[in-house]
Amino acid sequence: MIDGVKITKLKQIFDERGKVMHMMRSDSEVFKHFGEIYFSTSYPGVVKAWHRHKEMTLNYAVIFGEIKFVLFDDRKNSPTKGQIQELFISPHNYVLVSVPPMIWNGFKCIGINESIVANCADVPHKANEIDRKHPTDKYIPYNWNIELK
């Protein structure tokens, strides 16, 4: 587990009409303040990586489909510097992943359906507070392909 990343099990309430999927409350341990909420969709096999925010804390939940969410810690004084963390997130593994600033992250849509990822960020998006790298950049020691063992 990368230092500072928090995973919170989320509640889904089902009845004969459908379900309610909780994501974030103002009294949650991980809630700081409201910046913006947005949804990111991706098609099967698509990788959206790598990026890190200088100020924003991400709070991701997958409301439809499945993703492989990957984090890489290169923070200078972090106890988990150099570590990779993989998470498989979907409505079947319905969690909120809170990612503090300065951790590289990205995700790949897995399965056969488009995925919908919700982010309840603590600051509004600003183009100058994000760093980006190509998904295959060798700086981050990760291969997005499926490796059978």
Per-domain boundaries in the chain: 6-132
pLDDT at position 148:
64
Q: Are 42 and 107 in contact (CB under 8 A)?
A: yes
Low-confidence ranges of the chain (pLDDT < 70): 147-149
Q: Model confidence over 34-74: pLDDT tens digits?
A: 999 999 999 999 999 999 999 999 999 999 999 999 999 99
List the one residue out of 129, 148, 136, 22 whose CA is nearest residue 70.
Answer: 136
pLDDT at position 146:
74
Distances (CA, A) of 86 to 12, 33, 42, 72, 98: 23, 27, 18, 9, 14
Round to whole Å and give the CA distance between 12 and 4: 25
List the one residue out of 83, 38, 76 whose CA is nearest residue 56.
Answer: 38
pLDDT at position 71:
98
- Count of CB atoms within 10 A of residue 57's CB? 22
pLDDT at position 65:
97
Bond before 144 cis per omega within 30 degrees: no
**What does R_g of the chain's alpha carbons equal in angstroms?**
15
What class has domain 6-132? mainly beta
pLDDT at position 43:
98
Round to whole Å and give the CA distance between 89 and 96: 9
